[in-house]
Chains A and B, each alone.
Chain A
Amino acid sequence: MLTDLVSVVVNTIILGSIYGLVAIGMTLIYGTLRILDMSQGSMVMVGSFIGWGVLVVAGWNPILAILAAFIATFGLGALTQLVSVQPLMKRRNAIDFEMVTFITTFAVAMVLTNLALELLGPFQRNVTPVIAGGLSIHTVDLPYQSVAMAVVSIALMIGLGLFLARSRWGMAIRAVAQDLDAARLMGVPVGKLYPLTMGLASALAGVAGVFLGGLYFASPTAGDLPLLEALIVVIFGGLGSLPGTVYAAYAIGLIQAVAEAIVSVTWSLPILYGVILLVLIFRPYGLLGKPSEARL
């Protein structure tokens, strides 16, 4: 019983932190650009391959791997915005913008995943953990990798919160999220802000990828499950609400940890989907989501 309790608490914190890192990027993008960015899963995948390249192929320092993943996925995310979203910005009021960008970012994800498949093959590659070893609490194994990941995730989430609250660019992002036209009239450079936002969110996913690669594998489909989980978190929390996303990440981590402890690992995802169905039926905009009011 104590073992179950310990494993539930530990898994909740770790799973929640992982989900939070990817999901918070999606929330940031949705809050600012009204885009559900389906390419975030591919950013996790790219991050895990960069982790593999730097740590295993080149044999360099883990910190370098995290930095490299951050920079590369930042660039890739900004590029994704320029290619798949920017051309549609002028027509944003004439089209179903949310749906069309959902499809274009999905197309980017398709291209990235399958380029990786074509270039690197369908193999699963082991990535050296950023930190080896682990400890054991009441017979529950806890790799340092997971601890490091939770710590880095929480640090990045706090860092993002401070960035949005205090820095000039962060305030600009929030201003655009609240009222695009007003922000533009106040001289916010919207054209630069959008790639920055998507780059930032993608970089978070890329860093998550380095850790997830160490926990599981680097493979072309490594981003699919994180994407699905992040989608669940984002809907559960309410699209566009940052606090909602953080609560939802840990709530979902808790549901999944309990489901794994009580039922079995194979049923944890269907149980999650069942919970989501119920939440959406009774709260169509998620826990803290608002139909179209100020977000972030």
Chain B
Amino acid sequence: MTDSAVTERPGDPPTLERAAFGSMTTGRWALAAAAVLVAALIPLVLSSQYYLSVMVTTLILLVLNISWNFVLGVAGVWNFGQLAIYALGGYGAGIIMLHSSVSPWLALLAGGVVGTIAAVLLAFPTLRLYGIYTSLLTFAFAEVIQYVILNDGSGLTGGSFGLPAVSGLFGSLSPGAQNKAYYWTALAIVVAATLALAAVGQSGLGIALRGIRDAPGYAAARGVNPLRYRVIAFAISGFLAGIAGGLYVSAEGSIAPTVMGLTPMSVYVTMLVIGGLGTSTGPILGTILVQIVATVLITHPGAEFTILGLFLLVVVIFVPDGLTGLISRYARRLGAWVAEDEDDDADESTDDRAQDQPEGSPDPHVA
């Protein structure tokens, strides 16, 4: 990435743009592909419908968290209105699925469009503010949306009962087959969203966003318009959140105002922060870990949230870059240690496979 720095002229896009997935080595690609393959095979092996539906929920949450991570972590805007965007997307898709005969896939896409519009409308007043005021204004927005839906007497949203009996994407299949179909659909969207946002994160747009986040004055002085790039970030994230909402309403068959509010939000924020904000793998790790804790302690909500709260506190104070940061630090240390032993070996053989080596092993030659 440093080699082409000399040829860069002022008008050129940033050089980093050429390394679409900068940190991905061949080994890491293989690991990611293997993880996706294993995940895709789970429904064929798993017989419990309950755990399969928990996994579908987890995957839908992943789509939401990936979208949120983009605004929160990459763009660094403390937007706490994401759940309202998610819910609006869900209601939009659900209402179309209930009241019209168009393909449910189009309705899902419409959910994404509703999410985009809501996010852009939220972005303009919000981005005038800074820091803590942003988070409070966006949170107030989410509360207003929730109250409006709760007190809606027109019958369009169903008020506090929510939208009933949405037949969803796979209405014609048996319940068991539906679960599998939603699992694979959600998994495909998670993979596509992760790849797309990772690519965007490495592109000129991502660099601009991180520049505005880390050094607003400098970025603005270099001609990066903060409002423009952040509105684009809101639009991208809003589209994905709307898709997540559409998936939710169609997989659950209903949506109610309880998808918003302080309690779900605190869980999702915990997922993002524990995993590592602003990274590609962070939301995935965090979401899966917290969902496991939540599923194990489902009968003890008090204990569940106490543990999550303690987790959150410890991670924020002691591991500010989350689990992803922790893992990559240890991987790097191990990698450096392995490389010392065999400095003439190829780079690819270090990081990931080196983790399997016992730490005390004197000569961990990787085949």
Interface, chain A (partner B; CB < 8 A): 36, 83-84, 87-88, 95-96, 98-100, 102-104, 106-111, 113-119, 220, 224, 228, 231-232, 235, 239, 266-267, 269-270, 273-274, 276-277, 280-281, 284-285
Contact = CB atoms under 8 A, between A and B. Distances in A.
Contacts of A95: 320
A274 B141 CA distance: 8
B151 A270 contact: yes
20 contacts: A88-B317, A100-B320, A103-B269, A103-B316, A107-B313, A108-B313, A110-B308, A111-B309, A111-B313, A114-B305, A117-B302, A118-B302, A118-B303, A239-B133, A269-B147, A270-B144, A270-B147, A277-B125, A277-B140, A285-B133
A278 B262 CA distance: 22
Q: Quick one: which of A100, A117, A231 has the most chain B CB within 10 A?
A: A117
Given A102-B132, A111-B313, A118 B300 contact: yes
Interface of B: 78, 125, 128-133, 135-137, 140-141, 143-144, 147-148, 151, 262, 266, 269, 273, 300-306, 308-310, 312-313, 316-318, 320
B137 A280 contact: yes
A277 B148 CA distance: 15
Nearest to B312: A107
A114 B303 contact: yes
A232 B136 CA distance: 8
Contacts of B125: 277, 280-281
Given A99-B78, A102-B135, A118-B303, A273 B312 contact: no
B132 A277 contact: no
Contact of A273 (B143, B301, B310): B143
B96 to A, nearest CB: 26
A99 B132 contact: yes
Given A95-B320, A108-B309, A110-B306, 16 more contacts: A99-B78, A104-B313, A106-B312, A107-B310, A109-B309, A110-B266, A114-B304, A115-B306, A116-B302, A118-B303, A220-B302, A235-B136, A239-B132, A239-B133, A273-B140, A274-B144
A269 B143 contact: yes
Given A104-B317, A114-B301, A281 B128 contact: yes
Contacts of B308: 110
A280 B139 CA distance: 13
A154 B306 CA distance: 35
A84 B313 contact: yes
A4 B305 CA distance: 43
Which are the 8 A-B pairs with shortest beta-carbon distances? A118-B302, A110-B309, A117-B302, A114-B305, A111-B309, A270-B147, A107-B312, A107-B313
Nearest to A289: B133
Nearest to A232: B140
Nearest to A110: B309
Contacts of A284: 128-130, 133
A36 B132 contact: yes
A109 B306 CA distance: 9
Contacts of B143: 228, 269-270, 273
A111 B310 contact: yes
A266 B149 CA distance: 12
B141 A277 contact: yes
Interface residue SS majority, chain A = helix
A106 B302 contact: no
Contacts of B130: 284
Contacts of A102: 132, 135
Q: Quick one: which of B140, B262, B305 has the most chain A CB within 10 A?
A: B140
B318 to A, nearest CB: 8
B268 to A, nearest CB: 13
B140 A276 contact: yes
A107 B266 CA distance: 9
B321 to A, nearest CB: 11
Nearest to B128: A284
Contact of B151 (A108, A267, A276): A267
A228 B262 CA distance: 10
B316 A235 contact: no
A87 B343 CA distance: 39
Contacts of B313: 83-84, 104, 107-108, 111
B306 A118 contact: yes
A105 to B, nearest CB: 9
Given A107-B312, A273-B144, A98 B131 contact: yes
Contacts of A114: 301-306, 309
B258 to A, nearest CB: 14
Contacts of A88: 317
Contacts of A280: 125, 129, 133, 136-137
A32 to B, nearest CB: 15
A117 to B, nearest CB: 4
A231 B262 CA distance: 14
A146 B147 CA distance: 27
Nearest to A278: B125
Contacts of B306: 110-111, 114-115, 118
Nearest to B137: A280
Contacts of B151: 266-267, 270
B266 A231 contact: no
A107 B311 CA distance: 9
A110 B148 CA distance: 26
Q: Quick one: which of A100, A106, A235 has the most chain B CB within 10 A?
A: A106
Contact of A277 (B144, B269, B300, B320): B144
A287 to B, nearest CB: 13
A225 to B, nearest CB: 11
